[in-house]
Structure 1
Amino acid sequence: MRTLTLDIGNTTVKYGCFAGDVLLEAALAESIGQVRYLLERLQPDHVIVSSVAEDTAAWARQWQKQIKGKVLEFVPATTPLPIRNAYATPHTLGADRLAAAVGAAWFWPTHDTLIVDAGTAIKCDWVEGGHTFRGGSIAPGLRLRFEALHTFTGRLPLVAMPPDLAAPVAWAGDDTQAAIRSGVLNGAVAEVNGFIEAYQVQNPDLRVVLAGGDAGFFQPRLKGRIFVIPELVLIGLHRILVHNVEN
């Protein structure tokens, strides 16, 4: 079975093509309108679409005309899942968070997992025992923090991400830009490490998996053993689609 997974985020459209459980191709599409060309080129049997940014019903109807199988719109509150969703307000739950949880549960079906998804927002989510999504935390991502300091103050400049993500960030900035860079970047790392330590107190055998566009910045700075799976959301979407096709 060949599947196409589509993750429409706040700033990008990510796609993954799977044959069985093997990820053949993953990349960014220029826009949601480019998906019809992906369907022509990749010829999937089934498609799943997930969005935190816009309604996908019209697109799904259009894509259904191009394929013979299922076009599944992933809705966290109603779409059947291979894990239990214990979130108190599933209708407000971001589809990317739940898809990442399904992906983590597929990799570690018997372990507690903490997912650190570092993108537009930094999300730390807990999957209990490989079977239950328990929720977690949402905080501004790195670029949002830089933008907020500039937008909501009178004189602080807009500071960009450093070009070399592996370069050390000085703790004591000796000018205003360096001070902002320290507060945003070192502060975010300390924050995430704090969440990891807090969850590890509850479960010393915790698995920690890192995903998202800013995973490359966080990877060398987080404490302990970290699994990096950039395509975790796409893998989770694939498993949700397979679950709905086979059941």
Structure 2
Amino acid sequence: MLLLIDAGNTRIKWGMLELPTAASPALPVWESVGSIGHEQLPDLAATLAMAPPITQILVSNVAGAKVSEALTAALAEIAPDVVPAWFSSAPQLAGLHNGYRNPLQLGCDRFASAIAAHALYPQQNLIVATCGTATTIDAVSAEGVFHGGMILPGLKLMAQSLARNTAQLPQVAESISVDDVFADNTDQAIVSGCIGAQLGAIERAVTKWGLAQKSPVTCILSGGAAPYLAAHMDVQYQHIDNLVLTGLYHAAKAHNNVNTH
């Protein structure tokens, strides 16, 4: 059994499935998936105590050294005989060429998301928008080249910078309709502005990438804040859950395929 872990800035997601082979589908068939907050990391071993035997572990971590240490301790309890592999960006992997100026500097979560998007939508020009603590918006060509992207504060960070009603952000965000862009109260005006900024960046990226490639663009939307943006999108999009985990799955699939030939 393969255990994949996406340690983000706010939450840690995990997915478990059979070891992939060359014949495995592009969209992983999860045995189980889940997520926990950083404060729940000591409970991860108990959460996975009844899991089938784990033979491989692949981790993407952008949450820093403390989370890495806590994860290492938890994984030692979960699968003491398995040495976790720590995913990192590379010049090329799983059918994706990394066009970053310094390929190793690209955040491993962005690289994994781009791998997943290209695997799920091959031979398509893509904008990959992952909306979490930060929002990252990246361009991938139909030929499988990661061209670069942009990083901006996520929806909640934007709202927190204005220090009003952030505890109720989801409820406020869901209550705004396209017709209510110009809100008649401060709380909704803040959230409407934040949503507009997120959408503006994503939609501008889709337009610019389409012009650059002289071809239609598929927009991939993922991340915890994606549902709050999806209803307001003015461009066509595909909403994919667990995009980083899916990228890790394809990285593991490529690795296993190479090592069996």
- Work out whether the TM-score is over 0.5: yes
Residue from 162, 169, 172 that aligns with 1:161: 169
Change in Cα spacing, 1:33 to 1:61, as seen in structure 2 (3 Å) is closer
Q: For the residues of structure 1 that align with 2:13 and 2:76, how far apart are their CA atoms?
A: 19
Deviations 1:23-65 (A, max 9, x none): 2222113533333335542222211111111233674476357
Change in Cα spacing, 1:54 to 1:223, as seen in structure 2 (3 Å) is same
Asked whether the equivalents of residues 101 and 133 of structure 1 are also in contact (C-alpha less than 8 Å), the reply is yes
Code of the aligned partner of 2:75: W
Report the counterpart of residue 184 of structure 1 in structure 2: 194
Give the match's secondary structure for 2:231.
Answer: helix
Q: Which is richer in helix?
A: 2
Alpha-carbon shift at residue 140 of structure 1 (Å)? 0.7
Q: For the residues of structure 2 that align with 1:70 and 1:147, how far apart are their CA atoms?
A: 39
Code of the aligned partner of 2:245: L
Give the match's secondary structure for 2:124.
Answer: coil
**Unmatched segments (≥5 aa) in structure 2:** 21-27
Moved more, 48-57 or 6-15: 48-57
Asked whether the equivalents of residues 12 and 28 of structure 1 are also in contact (C-alpha less than 8 Å), the reply is yes
Report the counterpart of residue 144 of structure 2 in structure 1: 131
Change in Cα spacing, 1:215 to 1:59, as seen in structure 2 (3 Å) is closer
Deviations 1:180-221 (A, max 9, x none): 233222232233222222222233332211100011112222
Change in Cα spacing, 1:205 to 1:69, as seen in structure 2 (3 Å) is farther
Alpha-carbon shift at residue 173 of structure 1 (Å)? 2.8
Report the counterpart of residue 147 of structure 1 in structure 2: 160
Code of the aligned partner of 2:223: G
What TM-score do you get using the length of structure 2 for normalisation? 0.81
Report the counterpart of residue 34 of structure 1 in structure 2: 43
Please give the residue correspondences for 1:79-228 in structure 2 after superposition, counting only pairs within 5 Å: 81-82=93-94, 83-150=96-163, 157-159=164-166, 160-163=168-171, 165=174, 167-168=176-177, 170-203=180-213, 204-228=215-239
Q: For the residues of structure 1 that align with 2:61 and 2:253, how far apart are their CA atoms?
A: 18
Asked whether the equivalents of residues 215 and 230 of structure 1 are also in contact (C-alpha less than 8 Å), the reply is no
Q: For the residues of structure 2 that align with 1:166 and 1:193, how far apart are their CA atoms?
A: 22
Asked whether the equivalents of residues 116 and 122 of structure 1 are also in contact (C-alpha less than 8 Å), the reply is yes
Deviations 1:72-109 (A, max 9, x none): 1112258x721221111334321111110110111122
Q: For the residues of structure 1 that align with 2:221 and 2:29, how far apart are their CA atoms?
A: 20
**Unmatched segments (≥5 aa) in structure 1:** 151-156
Q: For the residues of structure 2 that align with 1:245 and 1:216, how far apart are their CA atoms?
A: 34
Give the match's secondary structure for 2:162.
Answer: helix
Change in Cα spacing, 1:34 to 1:91, as seen in structure 2 (3 Å) is farther
Asked whether the equivalents of residues 221 and 237 of structure 2 are also in contact (C-alpha less than 8 Å), the reply is yes
Q: How many residues align?
A: 239
Report the counterpart of residue 241 of structure 2 in structure 1: 230
Change in Cα spacing, 1:167 to 1:74, as seen in structure 2 (3 Å) is same
Deviations 1:206-246 (A, max 9, x none): 22111000111122221232111111111101111232333
Change in Cα spacing, 1:108 to 1:199, as seen in structure 2 (3 Å) is same
> Which structure 1 residue ranges, 4+ long, deviate > 6 Å from structure 2?
none
